[in-house]
Structure 1
Amino acid sequence: MFWGPGFALTGALLELVAGGPVHTIAWVLVGLTLLVVLSLWVYSRRRFLSVRLTPTHLWQGRESLAVSRIAEVDDVGSPIGVPVLGGGWSAPRKYEELPLRLDDGSVVLAWARDGVALREALRGVVAGT
C-alpha cells in the first residue's frame, strides 16, 4: 500500500542526486495520489473478495448465507444461470467455484481461492449443525 509514497520519494531522491531541480510539490502530490488509489484498491479487495466461515454463517463478499440453509456440499451440479454468492454475476477471477444445494432445493455458487479447503470446512460445519 505504501508503494506510491516510496515511488515518489525515490523520484525526488533521484532528482536530488542528479543535481537538477527537485519538484517537491509534484512528488508529494504523486505520492499522495498513488497512496489514495492503492488504499481504495486494497479496501475493495478486502471487502468484496473476502470469504469467511463461522459456525453459523458463510460470508462471501457482501453477502451472508446461514449454514443451516446448506443441505448438500458434495456432488452438486451447477446449472446455467445459478446465482453467485457475494452479489456478482460470476465467481471472481482466479477463484474456484463450489456449487451448494440449499434446503429449498435451489443451488447457489460459492467461491474461494482454495475450493477444496472451503468444501472441507463446509462439510465440517454442516455436519455439526
Structure 2
Amino acid sequence: MTDTEPTVLFAEPGARWRSIAYGPLLCLVVLILELALRAPVHWFGLAFCAVLLAGFVWLQVIAGRRHVSVELTGATLREGTEVLPLRDIAEVLPERDPDAWDDEDWESARALGELTGVPRRRKGIGLKLRDGAIIQAWARDHHGLREELSAALERLPDGDGAR
C-alpha cells in the first residue's frame, strides 16, 4: 500500500468471484454421475450449460461489484458508484426501534448509490447531512458499518466532523 491510498475501514464487495464457479461445478457433478452410472453422457449439453451459467453469473458479479459494493475510508463513504465525503455527514441517526409502530423518517429517505432504494439483503442506516438532508446508507453488515462510520466521524478534525 502506498501513502496515497486511504486506509479502508469497512468494505463489502457486493458479489464474490467464486460464485461464477458454482454452475460449472454443478455441471461437473452431473457429468461424474453420468459417467459413474454408465448413462449416456451429455458432453455438449453439460459444456454448453456450464459456459452459459458462468457467463450469466459473471455479468451479475460485475454488476454486484459495481452497484452494491460498500467502502468506508477515513475520508469517504462509497456506496455503489456514489461517493460521499465524511465531512458532509452531520450525524449517524439511531437504529429503528423494533417495538415502534411508526417508521423513522430516514427509512423513506433516498438511498445512497444509483439504485432506486436499499439493495436486497441489505439494511439501511440513517444519516443526517450538514445541509439538513436525511439519506440512507446501507450494508449487509449494517451494525459493522454503523460502528465504523460513527468512529470515523468522531476521528475527523474539529470543524470537519460530526459532533
TM-score range, shorter chain: 0.7 to 0.9
Q: 1:74 to 1:10 in 2, by over 3 A?
A: closer
Q: TM-score, normalised by structure 1?
A: 0.84
- Distance in 2 separating the partners of 1:53 and 1:8: 38
Percent identical residues: 33
- CA deviation profile, 1:93-129 (whole Å, cap 9, x unmatched): 2222111111111111111123222222112211222
CA distance in 1, matches of 2:55, 2:32: 22
Q: Give the aligned partner of residue 17 of structure 1.
A: 36
Query: TM-score, normalization: structure 2?
Result: 0.69
**In structure 2, C-alpha distance between the alignment counterparts of 1:109 and 1:6, rounded to whole Å:** 38
Do structure 1's residue 59 and structure 2's residue 78 form an aligned pair? yes
**Cα RMSD (Å):** 2.1
The correspondence of residues 30-49 of structure 1 with structure 2, limited to 5 A, is 30-49=49-68
Contact 1:99/1:109 (CA < 8 Å) preserved in 2? yes
The one-letter code matched in structure 1 to 2:28 is L
CA distance in structure 1 between the partners assigned to 2:33 and 2:130 by the alignment: 63
Unaligned runs of 5+ in 1: none
Runs of 4+ in 1 over 4 A off after TM superposition: none
What runs of 5+ residues in structure 2 fail to find an aligned partner?
1-19, 96-103, 157-163
| Contact kept in structure 1, 2:110 and 2:135, CA below 8 Å | yes
Measured at CA, do residues 67 and 119 of structure 1 come closer, stay the same or move farther in structure 2, by a change above 3 Å?
Answer: same
8 Å Cα contact 2:70/2:78 also seen in 1? yes
Task: Give the letter for the 1:123 counterpart.
Answer: S
1:118 aligns with one of 115, 136, 145: 145
Instruction: Find the aligned partners of 2:58 and 2:117 in 1 and give their Cα distance.
Output: 25
The whole-number CA distance in structure 2 between the counterparts of 1:9 and 1:119 is: 42
CA contact (8 A) 2:107 2:126 kept: no
**Paired residue total:** 129
**Equivalent residue letter for 2:130:** D
Question: Which has the bigger relative contact order, CA under 8 A and spacing at least 6?
Answer: 2
